Amino acid sequence: MNFRKFWKPSLVLAVLGMVLWGCSRTPVDSSPAKVLESYIKISFSISDVRDRKQMEALLTGDTLSRLLAWSDEQFSKAFLEAPKKFLGLKILENRKVSDQEVALTYELSFEEGPKDNLAQVTQKKLCSVIRVDGLWKIKEVRSVRESIEYLKEFTLP
């Protein structure tokens, strides 16, 4: 087959531009589970108080109001000073409440604390995600259960 007759620099540039534009664009809409995953990923990778803006962009309602009400010191204590290592996220249930709301039940696992007193924490939570201006945002998160397993044995003197 003769590819020379199909070779047009302007056509190649146009196709390449569309591919690059499509790959680099932030999706206008994503799934409720992806929004939750993004929020958790951001919360475990916070390196500065200014990073809270990324978290705020994924929240709405009372959940957003509570985060906005935190002082920089409160935010720093919760996300920067407490050493935590993300272990995993499992979406246990993804239930459509309406066209504008989805309820997610999930389990979050992480390690917390200093190395000499490290604990593995597993939290089961219920999350309400709603569509706001065409985007999914976290409206509410409720704790269902939390278990803490200390990785070093306790010893008696």
Question: How long a stretch of residues is the chain?
Answer: 157
- Residue spans per domain, the chain: 28-150
- The C-alpha atoms of residue 87 and residue 121 are separated, in whole angstroms, by 9
Output the pLDDT for position 13: 40
Output the pLDDT for position 85: 94
Given a cut of 50, the residues of the chain with pLDDT beneath it are 3, 6-7, 9-28
Q: Say which CATH class 28-150 falls into.
A: alpha beta
Q: Give pLDDT tens digits for 91-134.
A: 999 999 999 999 999 999 999 988 888 999 999 999 999 999 99
Backbone torsions φ then ψ of 99, nearest 5 degrees = -65, -20
pTM of this structure: 0.76
Output the pLDDT for position 5: 52
